[in-house]
Amino acid sequence: MRSTFKTLFYINRQKTKANGLTSILCRITIDGKNSVITTNEECKPAEWNIKQGPTTDKKINLRLQSFRELVEKTYQELLLKDRVVSAELLKNRLQGIATYSSTLLGLGRAELQMVKEGVGKSKAEGTYTNLCYANRMLCEFIKDLESKDIEIQSVTEELFEEYRFFLKKKGLKGSSINNYLCWLSRLMFRAVSQRIIRYNPFEHAEYEKVEKAIRFLSKSDVKNLMAMKM
């Protein structure tokens, strides 16, 4: 499903400063949810004319146009990188608020939030649920290490093996262990894309070998094969 994205400049005539000016705001709407950000521009309420300007000051209008282009460019960049963009995420990026966490669990929460926002669009509900389980297991592991969180830049390949041992002690199947390890590695790849670290220390780590059950032919399968014309 394609997301809807709109921007709208407006002023609040009820909030005029002592100098007679009021702030020009920008409402960002994505998929029906909106967030408001200041443009750092001001004008007199009498100068506001959305149909023609939006203001009577051409210089302000040019700066507002540049601001709109910045919003649209940032939206496209986020959409290309993460595939899903929320109005709040776009606002935070424009304001320069650090949306990237430097810790493992912080990154996990951010990743889950991004997946949650994509449910019903590019992500399935079951995918989000499974990743929540994986992140919960990672939280349990870090708690077992008697730590509240782990700095991304301090993570080494040894952590991968420690987590594997932790999962094995729980008696989990190889396929389940691999799923949890994949979530850990996914967070590290995300850290790479956000330039928190230069490379994923788990990129060449080995996962559990999972033996696939051999499926034997039934009598009906053999009968059908025998009946086939060569």
Asked whether residue 127 is assigned to any structural domain, the reply reads yes
Domain closes at, from 39, 63, 95: 95
Residue 214: inside a domain, yes or no? no
By the 8 A CB rule, do 144 and 188 touch?
A: no
Residue 108 and residue 78 in one domain: no
Q: What is the pTM of this model?
A: 0.55
Q: Does any domain span residue 64?
A: yes
Question: Is residue 40 domain-resident?
Answer: yes
Task: Examine residue 54 and say whether the peptide bond preceding it is cis (omega within 30 degrees of 0).
Answer: yes
Same domain (yes/no): 118, 178: yes
pLDDT at 216 over 60: no
User: Per the domain annotation, does 25 fall within a domain?
Assistant: yes
Same domain for 86 and 9, yes or no, is: yes
What's residue 226's pLDDT? 57
Q: Is residue 44 part of a domain?
A: yes
114-133: b (≥16 Cβ within 10 Å) or e? bbebbeeeebeeeebeebee
DSSP one-letter code for 55: B
Provide the domain limits for residue 172.
104-193
Count of structural domains within the chain: 2
Q: What is the pLDDT of residues 19-65, one digit of tens each?
A: 999 999 999 999 999 999 999 899 999 999 877 778 998 889 989 99
